[in-house]
Amino acid sequence: MIIPSIIAKNQKEFNKRFEKVKSFSTFHLDIMDGKFVKNKSLNFNFKLPKNKKFEAHLMVKNPKTWIKKHGKKVNSIIVHYESNNIEKLLNKKTSLAINPKTSIEEITPLLKKTNKILVMTVTPGKYGSKFLSSTLKKIKELKKLKKTIEVDGSINPSTIKRVKNSGATKFVIGSYLQESKDVKIAIKKLK
């Protein structure tokens, strides 16, 4: 499943980016507070289109605060293992994200609380970062644990094959789609 990601500094930018990929049914919102990662994105009171599904990827220091304020706007939430106090936040609506340097051993106690793991295949925080091949091993390890594996970061026609062969089934794609001249052609190249 391909899930387009959206990074935006204001509602106008969000609307423009959404318009480009609106044919999809599910969207990945990159929420950044400028503290957990250097960038800021969707850190305003954004409005979302109706009849679409949205997952919020929280790259924030304190996910609990964001969830209290905006959690009802989205269908699902992804919190980073590396954020503060996340153990009590994991449930059916909330899943776990891990950075490239985080080991499977570190997250093992939390794996019982979630069915989906988002593996960052880049250092998080901006569009266009370099794909880290070292994450493929982590994807293979998680596949053995029978978890749904979503990948995020530098997914394009060459990297999607590698992560798919390693066990990922959901693919978050940002810059590749946003920078394409024709989204329909770009999607065909991913298959």
Domains recognised in the chain with CATH numbers:
2-190 (3.20.20.70)
The pairing of beta strand 26-33 with beta strand 40-41: antiparallel
List, as one string, the DSSP characters of 6-63.
E--SSHHHHHHHHHHHTT-SEEEEEEEESSSSS-EES-S-----SSSEEEEEEESS-H
Other beta carbons less than 10 A from residue 31's beta carbon: 22
Give the per-residue pLDDT at 85. 79
Give the per-residue pLDDT at 190. 96
Q: Which member of 2, 28, 30, 119 is catalytic?
A: 30
Give the per-residue pLDDT at 181. 96
Give the per-residue pLDDT at 91. 83
Give the per-residue pLDDT at 92. 80
Give the per-residue pLDDT at 127. 62
Give the per-residue pLDDT at 128. 67
How does residue 87 score in pLDDT terms, banded at 50, 70 and 90?
confident
Q: In the predicted model, what is the mean pLDDT of the chain?
A: 94
How does residue 126 score in pLDDT terms, banded at 50, 70 and 90?
low
**Residue 182 among the catalytic residues:** no
pLDDT digits over 133-164, tens only? 999 999 999 999 989 999 999 999 999 999 99
**Tokens (6 digits) for 151:** 């990948």
**Tokens (6 digits) for 138:** 């982590």
**CA 14, CA 9: separation in Å to the nearest integer?**
7
Task: Choose the weakest-confidence range: 30-44, 55-69, 119-133, 146-160.
Answer: 119-133
Q: Which member of 41, 152, 163, 187 is catalytic?
A: 152
Cβ-Cβ contacts under 8 Å for 96 (sequence gap 6 or more): 78, 79, 80, 81, 86, 90, 107, 110, 111, 113, 114, 116, 117, 118
Q: Flag whether pLDDT at 27 surpasses 90.
A: yes
Other beta carbons less than 10 A from residue 184's beta carbon: 8
Residue given tokens 């995020």 in the structure block: 152
**CA 6, CA 56: separation in Å to the nearest integer?**
10
Q: Taking residues 92-116, what's their average pLDDT?
A: 92
